[in-house]
Amino acid sequence: MIDLPRTPSFRLDGKRALVTGASSGIGLGAAVALAGAGADVWLVARREAELQAARDAIRATGAQAHAQVADITDLEAIAGLTREGPYDVLVNAAGLARHSPALDTSAADYDAAMALNLRAAYFLTREVARGLIAAGRPGSLINISSQMGHVAGPDRAVYAATKHGLEGMTKAMAIEWGPHGIRVNTLCPTFIRTPLAEQTLSNPERRAWILSKIKLGRVGEVTDIMGPVVFLASDASALMTGAALLIDGGWTAE
């Protein structure tokens, strides 16, 4: 009889996960997906009412969830979050976009985008990894990047800069922490129907441009990222690190 290989498990039972930006959009989708796969999930965001509602809704399904209000642009807040660790899984989903022509970009918008999309992600990822290394445990750290970490678009010089930076950061961290069994990857969605994307999607001209780029002919939904998040968090992706998983409907194929 043939000794058949076994598909690695997508389950996350016994794992502890930390998800930022978890009160809505991609962060909420990631938290729901990880909890559904068996992880004990800590949801982090700045909006307390929305965060607690998300936690309660996840608990109502029988899954494990906790809520922690925090502003992750504050390094002291990051230190407080990671004291609860170590976390086996991290999803850096908090982010913002302040689009404008490059000639019109204000210093305030530039600083705000860099502070959350790149600086906060950098230091939170570092602290979660520090906790895993101290505990002698492997882990999977996932940074929510974007197709704009690989291409660019009009009015997106700052946003693309933050996401290209996130891609480089992820690769360097993957090289450094690979010997510890810590994997670091990015998940790179196209435009996903979330409150963050609504301003762009509600513009008919921009929506037409977006649909012309997405080869599958539709805007993404939050559910489109939930399976990929579980894949990257689980043993099913055990040999992936320093990689970018593009969920872009074919945008970057050309």
**pLDDT tens column, 127-161:** 999 999 999 999 999 999 999 999 999 999 999 99
Quickly count: other Cβ atoms within 10 Å of residue 226's Cβ.
19
Determine the average pLDDT of the residues in 21-42: 98
Cβ(67)–Cβ(51) below 8 Å: yes
Instruction: With respect to residue 232, please indicate whether it lies within any of the assigned structural domains.
Output: yes
Instruction: With respect to residue 212, please indicate whether it lies within any of the assigned structural domains.
Output: yes
Q: Residue 161 is part of a domain; what is its CATH number?
A: 3.40.50.720
CA distance 151 to 153: 7
Q: What is the pLDDT of residue 254?
A: 83
Which among 87, 110, 122, 159 is annotated as catalytic?
Answer: 159
Instruction: With respect to residue 5, please indicate whether it lies within any of the assigned structural domains.
Output: no
Least confident of 96-100, 126-130, 186-190: 96-100
Q: What is the pTM of this model?
A: 0.96
Q: What is the pLDDT of residue 210?
A: 94
Q: What is the pLDDT of residue 84?
A: 84
Task: Please report, rounded to a whole number, the percentage of residues in the chain having pLDDT higher than 70.
Answer: 100
Q: What is the four-CA torsion angle of 203, 225, 83, 127, rounded to 10 degrees?
A: -80
Instruction: With respect to residue 33, please indicate whether it lies within any of the assigned structural domains.
Output: yes
Instruction: With respect to residue 206, please indicate whether it lies within any of the assigned structural domains.
Output: yes
Instruction: Tell me how far CA of residue 36 lies from CA of 10, 29, 71, 227, in angstroms.
Output: 11, 10, 26, 11
User: What is the band of 96 on the pLDDT scale with cuts at 50, 70, 90?
Assistant: very high
| Residue 110 annotated as catalytic | no
Instruction: With respect to residue 117, please indicate whether it lies within any of the assigned structural domains.
Output: yes
Instruction: With respect to residue 213, please indicate whether it lies within any of the assigned structural domains.
Output: yes
Instruction: With respect to residue 3, please indicate whether it lies within any of the assigned structural domains.
Output: no
Task: Please report, rounded to a whole number, the percentage of residues in the chain having pLDDT higher than 90.
Answer: 92
How many CA atoms are closer than 13 Å to the CA of 76, on its beta-carbon side?
Answer: 0
Range of the domain at 91: 16-253
| Number of structural domains the chain divides into | 1
